[in-house]
Amino acid sequence: MLASIIKASKNTVFFGGAGVSTESNIPDFRSGSGLYSAKQVYGYPPEELLSRTFFECKTELFFRYYKENLIYANAKPNAAHQVLAELERNGLLAAVVTQNIDGLHQAAGSKNVLELHGSNHRQYCLECNEKYSLKYILNAENCEGIIPKCNLCGGIVRPDVVLYEEPLNETIMGLAIKAIVAADCLIVGGTSLVVYPAAGLLRYFGGRNLVLINKGETPYDNRADAVIHDSIGKVLSETIESIFDK
| CA atoms of 193 and 16, how far apart (whole Å) | 10
51: β partners = 164
- Quick check: 191 and 214 in contact, CB under 8 A? yes
What are the DSSP calls for 16-49, one per residue? E-HHHHHTTT---TTSHHHHHHHHHHHSS-HHHH
Of 213, 227, 20, residue with least CA distance to 113: 20
- Torsion on CA atoms 220, 87, 112, 14, rounded to nearest 10: 0
Residues 6 or more apart whose Cβ sits within 8 Å of residue 47: 164
Catalytic residue among 81, 117, 121, 229: 117
| CA atoms of 80 and 88, how far apart (whole Å) | 12
**Sign of torsion, CA 44 49 105 122?**
negative
Query: Is 117 assigned a catalytic role?
Result: yes
96: β partners = 14, 113
Give the active site residues.
117
